[in-house]
Amino acid sequence: MAELLAFPSACRRCGVLLERPGERILCPACLSALAVCRAPYCPTCGRFFDGDGTPHPCAACLRQAPPLSEHRAAARYEGAVKDILLLFKYRGLRPLGRPLASFLQTAIGDDNPPWRDADLLVPVPLHRRRRRERGFNQAEVLADELSRLTGIPILSDALRKTTNLRPQTSLRSQARRANIRGAYRAVRPDAVLGKTVVLVDDVCTTGSTLGECARVLRGAGAADVRGVTVARA
Ligand SMILES: [Zn+2]
Ligand SMILES: [Zn+2]
């Protein structure tokens, strides 16, 4: 304890000293920098539009209905939201799952969120090797916290990632979809049959991961599959 007092920790985002009791990892200013995106969005894929207006379907979703019936993100993947998600995922800062889930709940919880009247929250799985390296699955931590906040049960082993793909970030949208086909398997079809399922992930980039997970869950008999993410690229 004496050591802790002698060397107070610093905010992992901005470096300011964390001196007040209960403060850890992030300072209050960085935590409150988690800002909701108020821009209009596509209710089907969660993509944000520039400018003002009301939510409306985007051209891509009108052209072809995606496998998720709806998707919401709390923010754009930029600024403080991006910094904090990166700290959470790549710096092993698992406790950040709590403020991030509570941000999600505050941001969209009162606005017809995808988890309203849902039966299950299902985190997007990591391949077991990746999960071992990281020590936790960030999507599962978020789903777990969201389950605590909403009372909707989590089913963390509904899906399994069967192939350890090369990082999706290096691929373009079309290549991502091809790369990801067959990468997930529904291992609990009994538990999702006829259910309204909400897929939970930290970030949605092109939608190919969520789309493939939704396709697999629907194939396993889920009645409806929606998605929720903290941020949308
Ligand atoms: Zn800070
Ligand atoms: Zn859309």
Give the domain extent around 66. Answer: 36-232
Q: How far is the CA of 80 from the centre of ligand 1 (A)?
A: 10
Report pLDDT for 163: 84
Dist. CA 227 → ligand 2 center (Å): 12
**Distance separating alpha carbons of residues 27 and 202, to the nearest angstrom:** 21
Distance in Å, CA 42 to ligand 2 centroid: 5
Write out the H or E segment, with its range, that includes residue 173: helix 173-180
DSSP per-residue string spanning 46-114: -PBPSSS------HHHHHS--SSSEEEEEEESSHHHHHHHHHHHHS--GGGHHHHHHHHHHHHTTS--T
CATH of the domain at 142: 3.40.50.2020
Q: Give the ligand at the shortest distance from the Cα of 15.
A: 1
Residue 81 lies in a domain: yes
Least confident stretch, 19-28, 77-86, 102-111, 204-213: 19-28
Residue 101 lies in a domain: yes
117: left (phi over 0), alpha (psi -120 to 50) or beta: left
pLDDT digit string, tens, across residues 160-184: 999 876 666 666 666 666 778 889 9
Q: Is residue 99 part of a domain?
A: yes
Q: Is residue 18 part of a domain?
A: no
Query: Residue 229: which of 89, 55, 56, 23 has the closest Cα?
Result: 89
pLDDT at 2 over 60: no
pLDDT bracket for residue 75 (50, 70, 90)? very high
**208 located within any domain:** yes
Would you say residue 30 lies in a domain?
no
**Structural domain tally of the chain?**
1
**Is residue 152's pLDDT more than 50?**
yes
Q: What is the dihedral of CA 110, 116, 122, 126, to 10 degrees?
A: -30
What spacing in Å lies between the alpha carbon of 206 and ligand 2's midpoint?
Answer: 11
Instruction: Say which ligand is closest to the CA of 227.
Output: 2
Span from the CA of 105 to the centroid of ligand 2 (angstroms)? 22
Please identify which residue in the block is written with the tokens 């039966």: 119
Q: Tens digit of pLDDT for each residue in 3-49? A: 455 566 899 999 999 988 878 899 999 999 999 999 999 999 999 99
Which residues make beta-bridge pairs with 154? 121
